[in-house]
Structure 1
Amino acid sequence: MNILDDLKLQYKLGGIAMRVIYWNVACFAISLVFFYQYSGGGFAYPNWLALSSDPNVFMFKPWTFLTYAFFHSSFFHLLFNMMVLNFASNLFLTFFTQKQYLGLYILGAIFSGVIFSLSFYFLGMPGIIVGASAAIMAILVAVTTYQPLMGVRLLLIGNVKLWHITAVILVLDLMQFRLDNTGGHISHLAGALFGFVFIKLLQNGTDLSVIVSRTLDFFTNLFKKSPTTPFTKVHKNYKKPTEKVTSRIVTKDKTQQQIDEILDKISQSGYDCLTKEEKEFLFKAGK
């Protein structure tokens, strides 16, 4: 199995967190081709992708309240964000569903984008932002709000509480608020606020992620073709051979059992522990 097949399999089995990381990396790869200025050494994102604080722009391009959260200004910007996203995602998905994860990512990005645009507009500071940091902060603060005393082991530091890590990141944002990238820090803090509110509402019985789930389900059903049922002639006295039915069920059970065993192995030791034969079996089963 080649590298491309390996990546496809990881995308299929990795869940929503892995897919969000893939989407961010894919958007960065696209931006290198179309928006990177090699002479100037930087990105020139158009205002139909990056989020602008100019109401004459964002009012007519409302999708930018989401698209900005999938593009980054540099490789290291992307790398750091994806490392934190992977860390926060694993913790969040320990307690919550994948639909709640995606809903929080999207709503956190939108809320943070609105706060950034309004803040810069009223401060009279024109600017644009890109990056997934605000959505990531929403996920990190959400899981911290839910389990602040969770123990986390960090390389070279040792065991710390989850709230210690989140507090350090928030303090750094506050310290740099007036120094550099003010718009970015405003969106980070807005994302943190949204993550906190998201969990508090969820604990009181209000799940904001259903807004995103129902919206996606609506558009999915809108463009999904309704299955056509072919005409079948019924024979009352006809009986299917019991031997073939049993054989088919046994084969399906054995295949499903093997898939479950491999998935259990992934959850315990990671995808890289699989043998070549197991990877190829999962890839064929996922087709």
Structure 2
Amino acid sequence: MNILDDLKLQYKLGGIAMQVIYWNIACFLVSLIFFYQFSTGQFVFPNCLALSSDPQVFIFKPWTFLTYAFFHFGFLHLLFNMMVLNFASNLFLTFFTQKQYLGLYILGAIFSGIVFALSFYVLGTSASMVGASAAIMAILVAATTYQPLMNVRLFLFGNVKLWHITGVILLLDLMQLRLENMGGHISHLAGAFFGFIFIKLLQNGTDLSIIVSKVLDFFANLFRKSPTTPFKKVHKNYKKPTEKTSSRIVTKDKTQQQIDEILDKISQSGYDCLTKEEKEFLFKAGK
């Protein structure tokens, strides 16, 4: 199995968190090709992807309230965000579903984008923004709000309470609010606030992620082809081959059992512990 097949398999088995990370990486690779200026060594994103605080721009490009959360200004910007996203995702998905995760990421990004645009409009200045930081903060603060006293083991520091880590990050944003990248810090704090509200509403019985789930389901059903019912002939003397059916079920059970054993192995020791044969078997089974 080549590297491309290995990446495809990890994408399928990694769940929504791994898929969101892949989407961010893919958008970064696209931006390297189309938006990176070698003369200045900087990215220049068009206002159809980056979020602008200018009402004359974002009113006619409302999708930028989401697209900005998948692009980054540089490799280090992407690397740091993906490391924090992976950390926050593991915490959040310990307690909540993948649909709630995706809903929080999208809604957190949109809410933070709105706060960013309104803040700069009130200040009378104009700026643009890209980056997943605000959506990541929503996920991190949501997990912290739900389990603030969870112990997290950090290199060189040992066991630390989760709220200590999140508190330090928020404090740094507050301290740098009036310095450079003010728009980024405003969006970070907005994302944190949304993550807090998301959990509090969820604990009171209101799941905001249902909004995203219903919208995604609507578009999925819109583009999904309705299954056609083929014409069936009825033969009175036809007898169902019970032996072949039984054989097929046994084969399926054995295959499923092997898949379950491999997935258990991944959950305990990680994907890298699989042998080459096991990876190939999973890849073929996922087709």
TM-score bucket of the superposed structures, by smaller chain: over 0.9
Q: Gaps spanning 5+ residues in structure 2: where? A: none
The 3-state SS of whatever aligns with 1:62 is: coil
Q: Which stretch has the larger CA shift, 61-70 or 229-238?
A: 229-238
1:59-96 alpha-carbon deviations (Å, 9 max, x no partner): 00000000000000111000000000000001100100
1:282 is matched with 282
1:176-199 alpha-carbon deviations (Å, 9 max, x no partner): 101110000000000000000000
Q: Indicate whether 1:105 and 2:105 are aligned.
A: yes
1:111-168 alpha-carbon deviations (Å, 9 max, x no partner): 0000000000000121001000000000000000000000100011100010010000
The 3-state SS of whatever aligns with 2:257 is: helix
Q: Indicate whether 1:52 and 2:52 are aligned.
A: yes
Q: Gaps spanning 5+ residues in structure 1: where? A: none
Normalised TM-score (structure 2): 0.99
1:5-60 alpha-carbon deviations (Å, 9 max, x no partner): 10000001100000000000000000000000100010100111000000000000
Task: Report deviation, 1:241.
Answer: 1.6
Paired residues, what number? 287
How far apart in 2 are the matches of 1:93 and 1:235? 52
The 3-state SS of whatever aligns with 1:226 is: coil
How far apart in 2 are the matches of 1:75 and 1:247? 53
The 3-state SS of whatever aligns with 2:57 is: helix
**One-letter amino acid of the structure 2 residue matched with residue 69 of structure 1:** A
How far apart in 1 are the matches of 2:221 and 2:49? 27
1:125-144 map, 5 Å: 125-144=125-144
1:152 is matched with 152
Task: Report deviation, 1:234.
Answer: 1.8
**One-letter amino acid of the structure 2 residue matched with residue 11 of structure 1:** Y
Could you tell me the percent identity over the aligned residues?
85
How far apart in 1 are the matches of 2:108 and 2:153? 27
How far apart in 1 are the matches of 2:111 and 2:167? 21
Normalised TM-score (structure 1): 0.99
Runs of 4+ off more than 6 Å: none
How far apart in 2 are the matches of 1:144 and 1:237? 66
The 3-state SS of whatever aligns with 1:60 is: coil
How far apart in 1 are the matches of 2:24 and 2:210? 23
How far apart in 1 are the matches of 2:159 and 2:48? 44
1:63-142 map, 5 Å: 63-142=63-142
**One-letter amino acid of the structure 2 residue matched with residue 147 of structure 1:** Q
How far apart in 2 are the matches of 1:224 and 1:6? 28
1:175 is matched with 175
How far apart in 2 are the matches of 1:265 and 1:187? 39
The 3-state SS of whatever aligns with 1:95 is: coil
Over the aligned positions, Cα root-mean-square deviation in angstroms equals: 0.6
2:232 is matched with 232
1:264-279 map, 5 Å: 264-279=264-279
Task: Report deviation, 1:237.
Answer: 3.8
Q: Indicate whether 1:244 and 2:219 are aligned.
A: no
How far apart in 2 are the matches of 1:206 and 1:234? 51
Task: Report deviation, 1:247.
Answer: 0.1
How far apart in 2 are the matches of 1:106 and 1:179? 27
The 3-state SS of whatever aligns with 1:94 is: coil
How far apart in 2 are the matches of 1:241 and 1:127? 70
How far apart in 1 are the matches of 2:41 and 2:47? 19
Task: Report deviation, 1:235.
Answer: 2.5
How far apart in 2 are the matches of 1:7 and 1:252? 26
